[in-house]
Amino acid sequence: MSWTQLLATRKVHKHQTSKQELDELRSIVERDLEDAAIPALSEDRRFATAYNAALQTAKMAIACAGYRVGAVPGNHALTFEAAALALGNQAKSLLDYFEGCRRKRNVIDYTGVRIATATEAAEVLLHAKEFKKMVEAWIKTKHPQLA
């Protein structure tokens, strides 16, 4: 989909972000990355928390592009789709990875326990950190006033 199509279907809305808004999202991302590294938490909770850090990072990219995802069904999937529009091909493989994580996170949060393995929890944390670095570098290059 394109931004025009997403706007027409009211899945996204035009949005003017600010450094303050991004800094608040950065705080959430940092908290979630730190929490996802706590060994005493279950693998499920570490997985879901690292996933949320990636989701919030995707929201940062969308906000910088001038949009906000609406409160629509499937907004997590839509967030990663919209982040791909904002970031382009550089983020495709990570965003595809997080789409798979989204499905697992749904099972963790809504229907199951002991779904994620320790390896999966560590992997999503590593990729969430990588994604954060990528998005911050993109912001610094494309939107330096928001860095």
Please, is 50 exposed, middle or buried when counting C-beta atoms within 10 Å of its C-beta (0-12, 13-18, 19+)? buried
Read off the pTM.
Answer: 0.96
Instruction: Give per-residue pLDDT as tens, 77-125.
Output: 999 999 999 999 889 999 999 999 999 999 999 998 999 999 999 999 9
What is the rounded CA–CA span in Å between residue 11 and residue 7?
6
- Domains of the chain by range and CATH? 3-146 (1.20.120.330)
Give the distance, in angstroms, between the CA of residue 128 and the centroid of all CA atoms in the same chain.
8
**5-10, long-range: CB within 8 Å, 24+ apart, which pairs?**
6/67, 6/78, 6/82, 6/85, 7/67, 10/70, 10/72
